[in-house]
């Protein structure tokens, strides 16, 4: 089985590139040095939970998403929405769902979807 550090590193790089970020930009978001991001991406670093949290925060995903490898892959915007909504109250989720449904119906009616 492939080394988890390498799989994690590839996942970080994949998400970073999907967001259009450089290593320097991710490092700034995560409050880490850009060389450290490079070492993570190349599977050369054993990272702590604290660092994983900072990297995930910089990528705007939950830390657990960094360990979802190919078989569980979701589109990045869906992962980011999930992270945003995860800690909302049920009342807020119902409110947001109604608005999303309304916007999607509007897009279909306007011929945008």
CATH of the domain at 34: 1.10.260.40
Q: Do 50 and 19 fall into the same domain?
A: yes
Q: Do 55 and 29 fall into the same domain?
A: yes
Q: Do 51 and 83 fall into the same domain?
A: no
Q: Do 17 and 56 fall into the same domain?
A: yes
Q: Which of 56, 53, 46, 59 is nearest to 5 (CA)?
A: 46
Please state at what angle helix 49-59 crosses helix 34-41, rounded to 10 degrees: 100
Which residue has better confidence, 71 or 56? 56
Q: Do 60 and 87 fall into the same domain?
A: no
pLDDT at position 50:
97
- pTM, two decimal places: 0.65
* Domain assignment of residue 107, given as a range: 76-111
For the chain, the average pLDDT equals 90
> Rounded CA gap, 45 and 91, in Å?
42
pLDDT at position 1:
45
Number of domains in the chain: 2
Q: Which has the minimum average pLDDT: 5-14, 55-64, 72-81?
A: 72-81
**Neighbour count for residue 9 (Cβ, 10 Å):** 22
Q: Do 62 and 16 fall into the same domain?
A: yes
Q: Do 57 and 83 fall into the same domain?
A: no
Instruction: Give per-residue pLDDT as tens, 15-36.
Output: 999 899 999 999 999 999 999 9
Q: Do 28 and 81 fall into the same domain?
A: no
Q: Do 37 and 83 fall into the same domain?
A: no
């Amino acid at each position: 089985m492939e080394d988890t550090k390498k799989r994690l590193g590839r996942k970080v790089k994949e998400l970073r590139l999907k967001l259009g970020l450089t290593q320097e930009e991710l490092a700034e978001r995560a409050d880490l040095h850009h060389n450290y991001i490079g070492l993570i991406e190349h599977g050369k670093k054993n990272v702590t939970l604290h660092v994983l949290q900072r990297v995930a925060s910089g990528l705007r995903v939950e830390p657990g998403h960094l360990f979802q490898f190919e078989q569980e892959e979701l589109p990045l915007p869906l992962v980011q929405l999930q992270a945003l909504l995860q800690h909302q109250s049920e009342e807020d989720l119902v409110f947001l769902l109604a608005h999303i449904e309304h916007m999607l119906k509007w897009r279909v009616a306007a011929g945008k979807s």
